[in-house]
Amino acid sequence: MISLRAVTKRFGERTLFGGFDLDLVPGRTTVLMGRSGSGKSTLLRLLNQLERHDAGTLRCGELEIPAGLPHGEWQRRTLQLRRRTAMVFQSYQLFPHLSVLDNVTLAPRVVRGAEKQAIEARARELLAQVGMAGAADRFPARLSGGEAQRVAIARALATDPEVLLLDEPTSALDPNSTADVVAVIADLKRRGMTLAMVTHDPDLGRLLADQLVELPTLS
pLDDT in tens, 143-188: 999 999 999 999 999 999 999 999 999 988 999 999 999 999 999 9
pLDDT value of residue 38: 83
pLDDT value of residue 172: 83
Between CA 74 and CA 60 the distance in angstroms is 14
Please name the residues in contact with 170: beta carbons below 8 A apart, sequence gap of 6 or more. 149, 177, 178, 181, 182, 199, 201, 204
Domains contained in the chain, CATH given: 2-215 (3.40.50.300)
In three-state secondary structure terms, 14 is strand
Digit-coded pLDDT (tens) for 125-139: 999 999 999 999 999
- Do residues 9 and 54 lie in contact, with contact meaning Cβ atoms separated by under 8 Å? yes
Distances in whole angstroms, Cα of residue 23 to Cα of each of 31, 208, 211, 215: 12, 17, 10, 14
Question: pLDDT below 70 — which residues of the chain?
Answer: 112-114, 217-219
Between CA 195 and CA 185 the distance in angstroms is 9
Query: Residue 105 belongs to what H/E stretch?
Result: helix 100-107
pTM: 0.93
pLDDT value of residue 111: 73
